[in-house]
Amino acid sequence: MAEDQPASSPDDRLNPLARKERTGIIIVDHGSRREESNRMLEHFVGLFRDRSPWPIVESAHMELAEPSIATAFDRCVAAGADRVVVCPYFLLPGRHWHEDIPGLTAAAAARHPGVEFMVTAPIGLHPMMLDVIEQRIEYCLLKAGGRAEECEACAGKGLCGFRSADPPARD
């Protein structure tokens, strides 16, 4: 956008990446009864916020925990957003992506006339997920072989190692 154009130019619609300062980003997961899982989303969203060009970034849980999508939407608007992009932190499309998250987002938006919103595709089919999965497998194999520390997700849980379903031998 040229510097001499007003902040709210008709050309904004031609450039979907314009208006970063007035675009709220909500990263939403399912939500969990386990506070540890909810804190992991907060941590991830903090990392995203720190490296993102988007100044308004909030986390939300679809259900079971706060902040809800409605709370995050309200926070975005209070911070100056006039449009909100909801990004599901889900691997694959399903009912939550197709029905629940859009419905909850529409209900939140209804309290803010004039604020537009969209729900992005889930992240799972992105080609970079192939690298993420490969790196996770390699790291866990290194851990199982004693050549790496437990990752943050597995720390103290004893999950990152080979086990057997064979019953214990009897004497």
Residues 34 and 100 placed together within one structural domain of the fold: yes
Q: Does 4 map to a domain?
A: no
Mean pLDDT (the chain) is: 87
Question: How many folded domains does the chain comprise?
Answer: 2
pLDDT, average across residues 139-164: 82
pLDDT tens across 97-112, in order? 889 999 999 999 999 9
Q: Does 2 map to a domain?
A: no
Residues 115 and 135 placed together within one structural domain of the fold: no
pLDDT at 1: 38
pLDDT, average across residues 135-156: 85
pLDDT at 5: 39
pLDDT tens across 40-60, in order? 999 999 999 999 999 999 999
Domain with 81, as residue range(s), is 10-119
We report the CATH number of the domain holding residue 34 as: 3.40.50.1400
Residue in 79, 73, 66 with CA at minimum distance from that of residue 29: 66
pLDDT at 6: 44
Query: pLDDT class for 159, splitting at 50, 70, 90?
Result: confident
Query: pLDDT class for 10, splitting at 50, 70, 90?
Result: low
Residues 80 and 27 placed together within one structural domain of the fold: yes
- What percent of the chain is predicted at pLDDT more than 70? 89
Residues 100 and 131 placed together within one structural domain of the fold: no
pLDDT at 104: 98
Q: Does 170 map to a domain?
A: no
Q: Does 30 map to a domain?
A: yes
Look-up: residue for tokens 């799972």?
124
